[in-house]
Amino acid sequence: DTEVTQTPKHLVMGMTNKKSLKCEQHMGHRAMYWYKQKAKKPPELMFVYSYEKLSINESVPSRFSPECPNSSLLNLHLHALQPEDSALYLCASSQVNRSHLYGYTFGSGTRLTVV
């Protein structure tokens, strides 16, 4: 299995809703990432997990709450989002100590619309 699977593919939520995005990989990668991508812009790094521990938070607002329950799963919990949070949310994974050798594997993303 050489894929990163993200669910759901599309999500519409209200500003008072709570929802979660899910990311799964079975490549044995111990580093996982969340990126946010607005239309016509490059992906922006949000969080990095290394060995299931949060290692980088790029000053993301607390309405985004990541969780890494095990080495294969990465969740992004969403609460009280704003319409400007509408974007494509991408998950990626890589090996930790040799990520420079093999690059990152990205999922296809969840397209989130906040209404």
Partner 1 sequence: DAKTTQPTSMDCAEGRAANLPCNHSTISGNEYVYWYRQIHSQGPQYIIHGLKNNETNEMASLIITEDRKSSTLILPHATLRDTAVYYCIVRVNYNQGGKLIFGQGTELSVKP
Q: Which residues bind partner 1 (CB under 8 A)?
A: 4, 30-33, 42-45, 48-50, 55-56, 88, 90, 92, 94, 96-97, 99-100, 102-109, 111
Coil, strand or helix at 85: helix
Query: Between residues 31 and 76, which has the closer beta carbon with respect to partner 1?
Result: 31
Q: How far is the CB of 80 from partner 1 (least distance, A)?
A: 27
Distance in angstroms (rounded) separating the CA atoms of residues 19 and 67: 13
**Cβ of 103: how many Cβ atoms within 10 Å?**
10
CA distance 55 to 32: 10
Q: Which is nearer to partner 1, 16 or 69 (CB)?
A: 69
